[in-house]
Amino acid sequence: MMIISSMLLVFVTVLFMLLLIRQFRKCGSSPDHHHQKLPPGPARLPIIGHLHLINDLPHRTFQKLSAQHGSLMYLQLGCIPTLVVSSSDMARDIFKNHDLVFSGRPVLYAAKRLTYNCSTLSFAPYGDYWRQMRKIVMLELLSSRRVRGFQAIRSRELKVFLDSIAVTSANSSSVNLSEMTLLLSNKIVSKIAFGKKMHEDDDKNIGKFHEMLRETQELLGGFCVADFFPWLGWINKFNGLDRRIQKNLRELDDFFNTVINEHRDSSSYNNKHEEQEEDEDLVDVLVRLQKDLNQPISITDGQIKGVLMDIFVAGTDTSSATLVWIMAELIRNPDSMKKAQEEVRKVAKRKQMVEEEDLGSLKYLKSVVKETLRLHPPAPLLVPRETRDVCRIKGFEIPAKTRVFVNAKSIGTEAKEWQNPEEFKPERFPKSSVDCGYGGQFEMLPFGAGRRGCPGINFAMPMVELALANLLHLFDWKLPSGMKSEELDMEEAFGITMHKKSHLCVIPCPPY
């Protein structure tokens, strides 16, 4: 009896292994490999291809590999054909001549489940829904007119932030800028999205919401086997991933339902009182558009939630990570710090706070922001793309459904384009043309490019620049307990956004 059952077990195991191997074989070698001219890449292992190369800092690994294999490099990550783009020349070719082919996004396991079936702009497949929704977001939510309308919110939240730093400064103890800038961008974005209609205990509500978002970011940025072997999705039933995703989605959904319903109730009330459009928050706008029969698409609640998720996931962490990298670079480079502070203090004079109208005169400060984005793009591999068709680039053939990583970190530090690329030197940007390397310029692309480029740049910049200007205007900055500025480490932590790994804790001092 024992023997029979163990023989059966062996038999079943062998059968299972054979099936697995067949599956792996099938995906490892696409049928038309032989007559295609794929871009070069390192030697691959059987079954997993190049998956063993993926570690905590894939943009660094890709950068090293590309130095050997070329700025258009082909990898096989599990089952997934993958292209890594690492030079401004290649990026220019792709975004100028093949943008339509490269405007897809891969359907990733966690993203698909967390984004209401890819209702977010960032993960929607290229197509009608994405096109219509992108238009709505650009014209209605993130237009410069709308962004200007939120000036009061930015300055109010910034004041709270600066006041709490001033209290610490009186005690000459250090502030955790990593924590505080994230709180700041979270609060600004929450106020802009949800408005005043949250209940009195909204700080508590928003706090809970941000806990959920942190989990969302972790799930979206985490490593998932099914993203490389799609037929292994069932594993996530057993390793707890599915459960985490479902829990997170349920909590987010409850929160969004409450917010949307509150806005719906008060918007029918306000219609009678003819609320001014200027007073609308983003949920108001979306609820109004949903009711508007002249819109070319009918917007579902799931899609409203998707767009809100976009704005939080794409908008808060990126802005605060940028601020932290900027402050860290300035502390490491006292000459740049001094120059930036002198400029701000000259423009703001004895004003209590720098205001948004002053930002136009802060040319050096804008170069500091740009230089930081060049060296520390918060999304070093942008957001992955997927080719929608076969495509020929520089004589190579890129198969359809290839996953594409554009390495913004490599591109920003390419020796061909930049002198002493690793050096922090804001002066390298000519005073006149300081935009953010977005559109028409491919020497750096912290916001991506083309149709899928970041639509939030005009939303992010005033927030980042205004906070920075005031941090420099109101305080001098010292490192704790005799630490030297060149000792400040700049190690990166990988996630969906690239943060500084160790939190930036610095001492604010009154300047005069």
Ligand X SMILES: *[C@@H]1O[C@H](CO)[C@@H](O)[C@H](O)[C@H]1NC(C)=O
* Token digits of residue 185: 């961008």
Residue 38: name its binding partner from ligand X, ligand HEM, none (Cβ under 5 to 8 Å by kind): none
CA distance linking residue 245 with residue 496, whole number of Å: 16
Helix H or strand E encompassing 236: helix 235-238
The verdict on 48 binding ligand HEM (CB under 6 A) reads no
Q: How many CB atoms lie within 10 A of CB 224?
A: 21
The verdict on 117 binding ligand X (CB under 6 A) reads yes
Interacting stretch for ligand X, rule CB under 6 A, among 17-25, 134-142, 164-172, 455-463? 164-172
The verdict on 437 binding ligand HEM (CB under 6 A) reads no
Binds ligand HEM by CB under 6 A, chosen from 58, 78, 378, 437 = 378
Residue 179: name its binding partner from ligand X, ligand HEM, none (Cβ under 5 to 8 Å by kind): ligand X
Interacting stretch for ligand HEM, rule CB under 6 A, among 40-48, 74-82, 375-383, 475-483? 375-383
Report in angstroms how near the CB of residue 496 gets to ligand X at its nearest: 17
CB 317 within 8 Å of CB 496: yes
The verdict on 168 binding ligand X (CB under 6 A) reads yes
The verdict on 167 binding ligand X (CB under 6 A) reads yes
Report in angstroms how near the CB of residue 399 gets to ligand X at its nearest: 22
Binding mask 333-352 for ligand X (x = CB under 6 A): --------------------
Residues in 459-478 that interact with ligand HEM by CB under 6 A: 459-460
70 vs 455 by CB, closer to ligand HEM: 455
Binds ligand HEM by CB under 6 A, chosen from 77, 79, 121, 309 = 121
30 vs 164 by CB, closer to ligand X: 164
390 vs 505 by CB, closer to ligand X: 505
Binding mask 288-327 for ligand X (x = CB under 6 A): ----------------------------------------
CB-based contacts of 45-51 (< 8 A; 24+ apart in sequence): 47/21, 48/78, 49/75, 49/76, 49/77, 49/78, 50/75, 50/76, 50/77, 50/82, 51/77, 51/78, 51/228
The verdict on 505 binding ligand X (CB under 6 A) reads yes
Count, residues near ligand X per rule CB under 6 A: 10
* Token digits of residue 224: 């998932």
Strand partners, 397: 392
The verdict on 454 binding ligand HEM (CB under 6 A) reads yes
Residue 58: name its binding partner from ligand HEM, ligand X, none (Cβ under 5 to 8 Å by kind): none
Among all residues, whose Cβ is closest to ligand HEM? 448
CA distance linking residue 248 with residue 236, whole number of Å: 15
48 vs 307 by CB, closer to ligand HEM: 307
CA distance linking residue 420 with residue 413, whole number of Å: 9
CA distance linking residue 333 with residue 341, whole number of Å: 12
CA distance linking residue 324 with residue 503, whole number of Å: 9
The verdict on 176 binding ligand X (CB under 6 A) reads yes
Binds ligand X by CB under 6 A, chosen from 99, 140, 179, 218 = 179
With CA atoms as reference, report the closest residue to 463 among 151, 119, 5, 53: 151
Nearest 10 degrees: Cα torsion 153, 157, 162, 168 = 170
User: How many residues are present in the chain?
Assistant: 512
Binds ligand X by CB under 6 A, chosen from 148, 503, 509, 510 = 503
DSSP string, 441-500: --S--TT--GGGS-TTHHHHHHHHHHHHHHHHHH-EEE-STT--GGG----EE-SSS-EE
CA distance linking residue 145 with residue 130, whole number of Å: 22
Calculate the CA 364 to chain-centre distance: 25
CA distance linking residue 381 with residue 411, whole number of Å: 10
Residues that bind ligand HEM (CB under 6 A): 121-122, 134, 142, 310-311, 314-315, 318-319, 322, 378-379, 382-383, 385, 446-449, 452-456, 459-460
Residues that bind ligand X (CB under 6 A): 117, 167-168, 171, 173, 176, 178-179, 503, 505
